[in-house]
Structure 1
Amino acid sequence: MPHTPAPAAAPFTPDDLQQAVLLAVATLREAPPQAWTAKAGPLEWDCWETVEHLSDDLFAYAVQLGPQTPPLDHNVPYVWERRRPGGPSNAVHADRTAGPAGLLEVLEASGALLVAMTRTAPPQTRAYHPYGNADPEGFAAMGAVETLVHTHDLAQGLGLDWTPPADLCTRALIRLFPDAPPGAAPWPTLLWATGRTDLPGHPRRTDWRWYGEPRTA
């Protein structure tokens, strides 16, 4: 399916990803300890499981870039498993005895792994993702989108305020969502693009994807 070339914009960088992760961790630290068993927004997982899932996403993207010859047709074959029926299928699980502080440490560490990999992998690197084999910039943007929108889910369950910077959302939209409608504010548009809200003239998506493969103007 052909796509309209992305408009000229600053690239999505590892610093952008790091900003997203650190802002998310700082926000989630404000949650009361008893809130972590609440459902995370529209998800079927509780807030603890959702942070584990997000940590796992960031870890999984980092390891895709790790081999000297990254795979182009499969995920690096770690074992992903569910801790309960209907729970997220993860390779990463936090030690519950470490409490919410330990859970967020796992999240920050997984984010740092992806930041490091996207900083050090050569820009010509390509690695598998089912939404398009991506370069390091694409994996940085994917990790940031996972972080931004899952923190939105978590904020709903934990009773927190969460509005990420507009410029961060804009660069993520340009890199990953060439089909996003113009005109609306970047954060609501990113929520629309990931099936979490509607926009004027654009009903809420029931099926969505991003486009991870590099695009040229």
Structure 2
Amino acid sequence: MTFEDHGESAPRTNDAWADALARAVQLALTTLRSAPAEAEAWDATAGSLEWTCWETAEHLADDLFFYGMQIGTPGLPAGTYVPFGMHRQRPEGPLNNLQADREAGPSGLLTVLEACGAMQVSLTRTTPSSARAHHTFGTSDPAGFAAMGIVETLVHTYDITAGLGVEFTAPDDLCALVLGRLFPHVESDEEPWPTLLWATGRGDLPGREHVEKWRWYGEVREAE
């Protein structure tokens, strides 16, 4: 089975991609708001990552913020990013543009995630489909950056919930959508969610080698 072509049911407009991203972010928020509210719980390691659950949620918010800013500024010189300052809170932590106020606790952290997600959703809707912006995995359009945001949201919610002891399963339709848009090299007879986890180095599939290094392909293809 290939996820590259999903026929007429696959979103092709900016609004449809924005709706898909908004759904992924809302799913993450609903899931994570059911997690322990104590800040100390969020210092647990997030799944197989070296980051804490707090750092991973912060990184996810930062991803959505950055993708929105990147596609919302399509006049940048080719091959460049919006020149935000980036730094780490600790040597092993994520390299982010922004951090959440620790004193606001997990609820404040999730408010930051909600705000960054809403911003990328809005910019997905309002940026012309013809816009292109740089990403190291391929120059992309608003739909492509929305797909990146969905992948980040689903897999990092999985990471965070693994650390917090909360169950999380992503919807197969969202997984199939982003597999088709960003992972054209991936074929599998398995369901979309375990396939996405395998493709991002977070799980195993029967008869497949474990993925140690992974990437997506964000460039716009002619069929889109």
Q: Is the shorter-chain TM-score for this pair beyond 0.5, marking a shared fold?
A: yes
Per-residue deviation, residues 159-187 of structure 1 (Å, max 9, x unmatched): 01101111111101000001112311000
Deviation at 1:203, TM superposition (A): 1.6
Aligned partner letter, 1:78: F
The aligned residue for residue 160 of structure 1 is: 166
Asked if 1:15 corresponds to 2:13, the answer is: no
- d(CA) in 2 for partners of 1:67, 1:145: 22
Q: Any unmatched runs of 5+ in structure 1?
A: none
How much does 1:84 deviate? 1.1
Equivalent residue in structure 2 for 1:76, among 59, 69, 82: 82
Cα distance in 1 for residues equivalent to 2:77 and 2:3? 26
C-alpha spacing 1:8/1:162, structure 2 compared with 1 (3 Å):
closer
- Is 1:25 the counterpart of 2:26? The answer is no
TM-superposed deviation, 1:8: 4.4
Give 1:92 deviation, angstroms. Answer: 1.2
Question: Over aligned residues, Cα RMSD in angstroms?
Answer: 1.5
Alignment pair present for 1:144 and 2:142: no
C-alpha displacement at 1:41, in angstroms? 0.4
For 2:118 and 2:100, how far apart are their aligned partners in 1? 16
- The one-letter code of the counterpart of 1:186 is P
Aligned with residue 101 of structure 2, among 95, 120, 143: 95
Provide structure 2 residue ranges, at least 5 long, that are not aligned to the other structure. none
**Counterpart amino acid of 1:21?**
V
Q: Which residue of 1 aligns with 2:177?
A: 171
**Is 1:6 aligned to 2:4, yes or no?**
yes
1:5 shift after superposition: 10
Query: TM-score, normalised on structure 2?
Result: 0.92
Give, as a single letter, the amino acid of the residue that structure 2 aligns with 1:104. Answer: L
- Counterpart of 1:11, as a letter, is P
> In 1, Cα distance between the equivalents of 2:27 and 2:148?
16
Deviation at 1:60, TM superposition (A): 0.6
Query: Structure 1 counterpart of 2:121, which letter?
Result: V
- Contact 2:56–2:160 (CA<8 Å) still a contact in 1? yes
Query: How far off its partner does 1:71 sit?
Result: 4.2
**SS of equivalent residue, structure 1 residue 118:** helix
Q: Could you tell me the TM-score, scaled by structure 1's length? A: 0.94
In 1, the alpha carbon distance for the partners of 2:106 and 2:142 equals 30
* 8 Å Cα contact 1:59-1:114 kept in structure 2: yes
Q: How many residues align?
A: 214
Describe the shift of the 1:155–1:71 C-alpha distance in structure 2 as closer, same or farther (beyond 3 A). Answer: farther
**Residue 183 of structure 1, aligned match among 184, 189, 192:** 189
Post-superposition offset of 1:75: 1.2
Residue pair 2:3, 2:180 contacting (<8 A) in 1 also: no
